[in-house]
Chain A
Amino acid sequence: MIEVRLYAAQRLSAMVLAPLVIAHLILILLAVEGGLTAAEILDRTRGSVGWALFYGVFVLAAAIHAPIGLRNVIREHTSWRGEVVDKAMIGLGILLFMLGGRAVLAVVVG
């Protein structure tokens, strides 16, 4: 059943997101200490498999989590219903994954 699968995917992706969001916030606090430069960021991320995985999984989890959540919000707060909503949400998931993936590649590759 699709609703059960989406429910499970929403919770699983949330469980993945929670520690990543915390790590992300801590990293932001540490990174801005003493000024933030592009060179400093790229120094850390370029060629790093670890950071590629960290941000890659982050993007994937967000691309799964956000459209499922938005689907619920749409169904509760607008009169938009049916397959067209599902298709739009699949589109949003792909868009988030591509935009996020492109950003990850940009800081990791090269």
Chain B
Amino acid sequence: MTVTETDRPAEIGSEPGSETGTLTVEVWRGKDDGRFQSFTVPHRANQTVLDIVTWIQRHAEPALAYRFACRVGVCGSCAMTVNGKPRWTCRTHVGKVAEDGHLRIEPLRNLPRLKDLAVDMTPFFEKWQAAEGRFHPTKTRHDPLSTISPSSAKRKAADAGIECINCGVCHAACDVVAWNDDYLGPAALNRAWTLVNDERDGGKRTGLDAVSRSGGCHSCHSHGSCVEHCPVGLNPTRGIAGLKRMSLVGLLTGDAG
């Protein structure tokens, strides 16, 4: 059977929708010493920035490298710099960000560039590990389940930061990350904050030590760029302030130091 145009799975970049003119889209090509390539893309109703990038790859430049998976704001893989700001492209409507029908799409800031719009996320995840951003189990499958009250202050603090999708937008938005290579960054510190508030986690001591080293939570200037840009509305600044507070309490009680 030959695959006809209609048999193909629906193309993300070409959903039905009224065409409303065209957009001029500049896309970063290459690695660090690359250049912008300009494309003219049909503008459709309810089009997202990811739709634009996909349209370019499908119709104009098959070699364009970029990353996405879920297309619905869950996986955290589609972040790029759009008109100078870090954004999740799959949930960013073109209508909201285009300036005079113009879009400039670049890879995410503060991470090594690989090709075109794809960056290497390795340093980002290494920082999660350096911040002890992983669960430290204290029980086995044979123990009864812990009972955690959803209304306890600690659980509420953890819940407030738990919905992170690891998109790296805050990491790209943070100037301290850009200035100080050692800085763990808002996402890793936000994760650490959820864990030190998790009553089931057995790594609080190591966690607090990990975020109190050079480049840890004390390097944050609380200027809130991470909060401003986090697409899921998390507040890493608040969590980082909490870690600073906790480390001070540890210092005073002789628990850290």
- CB within 8 Å of B: which residues of A? 1-8, 72, 75-77
CB closest residue in chain B, given A7: B218
Complex Cα distance, B213 from A6, in Å, reads: 11
A20 → B minimal CB distance (Å):
23
Can you list 17 pairs linking A and B with CB atoms under 8 Å apart? Answer: A1-B213, A2-B214, A3-B212, A3-B216, A3-B218, A4-B212, A4-B250, A4-B251, A4-B256, A5-B251, A7-B218, A7-B244, A7-B248, A8-B248, A75-B180, A76-B176, A76-B179
Q: Collect the chain B residues with CB atoms within 8 Å of residue A72's CB.
A: 219
Contact B176–A1 (Cβ < 8 Å): no
Complex Cα distance, B218 from A5, in Å, reads: 10
Complex Cα distance, B107 from A12, in Å, reads: 41
- Tell me whether B81 is interfacial, beta carbon within 8 Å: no
A8-B251 in contact given A3-B216, A3-B218, A72-B219 (Cβ < 8 Å) = yes
Please give me the 8 A-B residue pairs with the lowest Cβ-Cβ distance, nearest first.
Answer: A76-B179, A7-B218, A1-B212, A4-B247, A3-B218, A4-B251, A4-B212, A76-B180
A77-B244 in contact given A1-B256, A4-B256 (Cβ < 8 Å) = no
Tell me if B's interface is mostly helix, strand, loop or mixed. Answer: helix
* CB within 8 Å of A: which B241-257 residues: 244, 247-248, 250-251, 256-257
Complex Cα distance, B244 from A31, in Å, reads: 41
Complex Cα distance, B244 from A7, in Å, reads: 9
Complex Cα distance, B248 from A96, in Å, reads: 27
Contact B257–A4 (Cβ < 8 Å): yes
Complex Cα distance, B219 from A76, in Å, reads: 9
Contact A77–B179 (Cβ < 8 Å): yes
- Tell me whether B209 is interfacial, beta carbon within 8 Å: yes
Contact A3–B251 (Cβ < 8 Å): no
A68 → B minimal CB distance (Å):
10
Contact A1–B209 (Cβ < 8 Å): yes
Complex Cα distance, B179 from A3, in Å, reads: 18
